[in-house]
Amino acid sequence: MSLALPTFDDVVRASETLKGVAHRTPVMTSATADRQTGAKLFFKCENLQRMGAFKFRGGYNAIANLTPEQKKTGVLTYSSGNHAQAIALAGKLHNVATIILMPEDAPAAKKAATEGYGATVVTYDRYTQSREDIARQMQEQTGMILIPPYDHKDVISGQGTAAKELFEEVGELDYLLVCLGGGGLLAGSALAAKALSPGCKVYGVEPELGNDGQRSFRSGEIVTITPPKSIADGALTPYLGQLTFGVIKRDVTDILTVTDAQLVETMKFFAERMKIVVEPTGCLGAAAVMKGELNVPPGARVGVILSGGNVDLKQYGELLSA
């Protein structure tokens, strides 16, 4: 039996749910980036979203669609940081109790922010323990509703609203570059691109050492890898979701990778030239086009989603000064 994949109609409904709640984040441009690439780049700044990342869109949409009875039981999830904060904040806004399973090495700033929104944080070792197994055990013990970070119809639909807004603001694009972890943002963005800019080529971008998405896309089946290590902590998933992969293999052009060194250079560019803080994961798409992993023709219109800006300031300073 085939999975019922989310559609662009679901993205449209999510945009109504998020209206007046999520920020309609700005689209920024840079003459320097345009000269460097020979293209016209449009940066959708989800680093300026509530709780600092696009994840608020999917998290809020998912909790908003729960029944009153489900909201009373509370919500459980697992995340390295941004989905954790999104569920925590959305739970606070809906008066829903939340428990978040986070890896022990998650950035301290993300853990503190998650707790600051009122969530209970439980930690685990991502290299020796399965977060899915732990979450299932906790779900059985508590009866709470599990909202995973990407493989969920309402999460995917909510994430797609970022790309929907981008196309509505700048019109059709030739290329769209989106960071890739579990695939929620990429799948949602691909749904929006197919509906609003049918000729747009959509690329996912992930860390070089965590290329499970690339391997899955090119083999035609989901590939699982050992939990990778990279400064792009928001993209360190060992495999794609069933729903996200279903959309990605149908609607995405290809999956690219970039190195940590390229991410650092891109972070420096945003800090020095555009005066914005973008976390390493948020730089994945920009690094691919600005560092030549994707060669676009002169004058091409290229959309880039900057997925988040949640950084540990100590690490951020060390990376920028290296």
Residue positions annotated with a catalytic role: 55, 80
Torsion angle, alpha carbons of 282, 287, 288, 292, to 10? 170
8 Å CB contact between 244 and 187: yes
Which of 26, 41, 24, 72 is closest to 298 using CA atoms? Answer: 41
Q: Which two tokens stand for residue 247?
A: 């959309």
Q: Is the dihedral of CA 135, 137, 141, 147 positive or negative?
A: positive
Strand order across the 27-28 sheet? 27-28, 40-45, 301-306, 175-179, 201-207, 254-258
Tell me the residue type at 98: T
| Angstrom distance (rounded) from CA 121 to CA 112 | 9
Which of 238, 232, 188 is closest to 206 using CA atoms? Answer: 232
The enclosing H or E element of 103 equals strand 98-103
Q: Which two tokens stand for residue 165?
A: 């807004």
Look up residue 200 and give its DSSP letter.
P
Q: Is the dihedral of CA 292, 295, 296, 302 positive or negative?
A: negative
Angle between helices 8-18 and 184-196 (to 10 degrees): 110
